Structure 1
Amino acid sequence: MVVTDEPAALDYLERVGYYRLSAYWYPFRHFEVIEDPKTGKPTTRALDEFQPGTQFVDAVRLYLFDKQLRLYVADALERIEISLRVDVAYLLGRRSPFAHIENTKAHFHPRFVSKPFSRSNPISRFDAWLNKYRGLVARSKEDFVRHYHRTHGDELPIWVAVEVMDFGAISQLLNMMHPRDQQAIADRYGVPDWKVFNSWVFSLSYLRNLVAHHSRLWNRNITSKPKLPQAGVLGWCDAFIEDEETRFKPFLLLAITRMLVKAVCPNTEWHQRVADHLDNFPEQHSSKQLTLSGMGVTEDWRAWW
């Protein structure tokens, strides 16, 4: 790998770190196909050589592109998260101020809340969520929480409780709510299937964790694959339905974010800023040219974005 400006390269290594930057020069390495000694199946191995022409600045530009992308995503997810808090608080709170801690059929789907949290943890999903929620309340340093405890008692009503919940807690609470409430919230965002919407929120919770921990985003494989509606229901989803591989890439999550943030803020220009950013994907000196396809960008994206 060619270093054209050694002081600048050292500066980036000192500020950003070798390991973090290595994720952005990794795609420029040579790879070979070998046989996995355990499975006997072919697998790829990265070699300690780079494609001809690869420069250190190629990795830096990708890093800066990814950093700005995460900032855009964080901005949108903040709006979506706050909006979901209001939606959940309104639907549960109109029936009971403390609906979120009342495991009843009026608030929650009994089959959802009674399912074990995991194979290794037989506690019910509701009880696991309740333990998480109480931990968030106990750790909260917010003045409004201490004031409410002093003035009204130990239990926070739902419209206060949602303010201490993180995206993950909101996602899990939504997942347990009665389907009629889940559908009512999904309708507000223009999603006709509450199960699809539920999976979208769960995937955005995963995305929120990536962004919060400053993890590489632009070309990673997504472990939380969102569900999609039937073909023709939401036109922009069709290209992802037809190409299974794109459903494991971050561009689908960006597209979901776009739809939801436009429902929250109809006059937003967030999607345009992101489109401009994608159009400015950094050029590279390397003979191996990386493109937006590494993000799972569909060929028709400009037509509906």
Structure 2
Amino acid sequence: MKPYLDHDALVAGLVATGLSIPDREQAKVQLQKYGYHRLSGYRYLYRVQLPPEQQDPSSRRFRSKEHVPGTSLGDVIDLAEFDVRLRCVLASGIEDFEIRLRTAVAHVIARRSELGHLYVEHLDEKHCLKRPRNSSKTSHEIFLQQVNEATALAHRRNDDFVIHHRQMYGRDLSVWAVVEYLTFGSLIFLLDYLKAEDKRSVANTFGASHPAQFVKWVRAIGTLRNDVAHAVRLFNKPLKNEIAIPPRSCTNTLLTETASHLRVNSTLPESRRPSKRIYSHSAVLSYLLRSHPAGSEWWKEFRDVSSTFPRHSAVPLSPEENMGFPAGWKNDPLWN
């Protein structure tokens, strides 16, 4: 395990490996702001690549500690700050999508019953009555535990509409109220438990033809939501979920060019595939928002932020090379 080093020693170590740091005091401030470990992820591509015979894939050792001549700490900070802007714009888009999804799911259930989420006859019974591996409870019973936790949270918070609901109708919250307190993960469970025709209705609302594919997209967005909330680095990093856009999975053509881009590059090593990078997830999010009846101009925000990617001459980094963006992506109708 590496030993602890104070900020002076950390800065000295960076200088010793060829990173240009004109102002050491300011460098220490940046280390206090971002952390040495976090900045290592942004420094990685600025380090000199080892000759093939010195590389060790088993320990993931492909680069030396030395930095490419001409690289400065400012270059690294620029990348980190771009990533902050990217996470902020994604957080905005994901929040918008999440609110619309909660509304759509609650609406199709409420048509059957105001408390339809509590009873399997209003959901996909076969799916609800399955027992997960190593569990004595059905999937719906497990989900009800999550509903009970959400309901208890609602009553503890004592929001005005919860007080009114309790006084007028009792402790159980109607589906349009309880979805406001479900975690995003629980909301995905509820989406997946919908009757086939209800799930298709929700999927169609967001421009998705196939409910199963729509649920996969929502799961990918849910994982990205957690990454964004925990300030996970998005630059030059493969994401957990791989995005697929099968033929005839969309009700309009806005994802056509993205689908082609993913298909052409599907034979790359998994970690380098665009389907595992941030562009594919952002494209699907933009598609779902734009295809919704309310429409969306979030695509403009994403395009503008992505256009601020820092360009440095020492190492030719780019969204296309490092984040899965296709060449000429700004000309895609999805971003216009």
Q: TM-score range by the shorter chain?
A: 0.7 to 0.9
Alignment of 1:77-156 (within 5 A): 77-104=94-121, 106-108=122-124, 110=126, 112-117=127-132, 119=133, 121=135, 123-140=137-154, 141-143=157-159, 144-156=161-173
Question: Conserved in 2, the CA contact under 8 Å of 1:109 and 1:179?
Answer: no
In 2: Cα distance, 1:70 partner to 1:76 partner: 10
2:56 is paired with a residue whose SS is strand
**Offset of residue 24 of structure 1:** 1.3
1:277 aligns with 2:294: no
1:167 counterpart = 2:189: no
Cα 1:231/1:262, change in 2 over 3 Å? closer
- Contact 1:31–1:45 (CA under 8 A) maintained in structure 2: yes
Contact 2:94-2:285 at 8 Å conserved across structures: yes
The answer for the alignment partner of 1:183 in structure 2 is 200
Task: Give the superposition deviation at 1:31.
Answer: 4.4
Of 277, 288, 296, the match for 1:249: 277
- How many residues end up aligned between the 2 structures? 296
The residue type paired with residue 113 of structure 1 is C
1:49 to 61, 66, 73: 66
Work out whether residues 131 and 137 of structure 2, in 8 Å CA contact, stay in contact via their aligned partners in 1. Answer: yes
1:59 aligns with 76
After the TM superposition, which of the residue ranges 193-202 and 44-53 deviates more from structure 2?
44-53
Q: Which runs of 5+ in 1 are unaligned?
A: 38-42
Letter matched to residue 2 of structure 1: S
Alpha-carbon spacing, 1:248–1:102, altered in 2? closer, same or farther (3 Å): same
Structure 1 residues 187, 48: CA separation in 2 closer, same or farther (over 3 Å shift)? Answer: same
Unaligned stretches of 5+ residues in structure 2: 1-18, 267-272
TM-score (norm 1): 0.88
Range with bigger deviation, 228-237 or 23-32: 228-237
Larger deviation, residues 119-128 vs 275-284:
119-128
The Cα of 1:109 is off from its aligned counterpart by 5.1
Report the equivalent of 1:40: none
Contact kept? 2:90, 2:228, Cα under 8 Å: yes
**C-alpha distance in structure 2 between counterparts of 1:219 and 1:262, whole Å:** 27
Q: Which has the larger radius of gyration?
A: 2
SS in 1 for 2:179: helix
CA distances 1:6-57 after superposition (whole Å, capped 9, x unpaired): 23222121122222222211222234422638xxxxx544432222222111
Looking at structure 2, the residues matched to 20 and 221 of structure 1 have their Cα atoms a distance apart, in angstroms, of 16
Corresponding residue of 2:23:
5
> Which residue is 1:240 aligned to?
262
- Pick the aligned partner of 1:291 from 304, 318, 326: 318
Q: Is the 8 A contact 2:151 2:172 kept in 1?
A: no
* Partner SS, residue 48 of structure 1: strand
Q: Which letter maps to 1:282?
A: P
Distance 1:30 1:201, change over 3 A: same
**Residue 47 of structure 1 aligns to a residue in which SS?**
strand
Distance 2:68 2:158 in 1: 52
User: Measured at CA, do residues 5 and 48 of structure 1 come closer, stay the same or move farther in structure 2, by a change above 3 Å?
Assistant: same
Shift of 1:142: 4.8
Distance 1:164 1:57 in 2: 42
Alignment-mate amino acid for residue 56 of structure 2: I
Deviation, 1:254, is 0.5
Matched residue of 1:192: which SS?
A: coil
1:232: Cα distance to partner? 9.1
Are 1:25 and 2:43 matched, yes or no?
yes
Alignment-derived partner of residue 36 in structure 1: 58
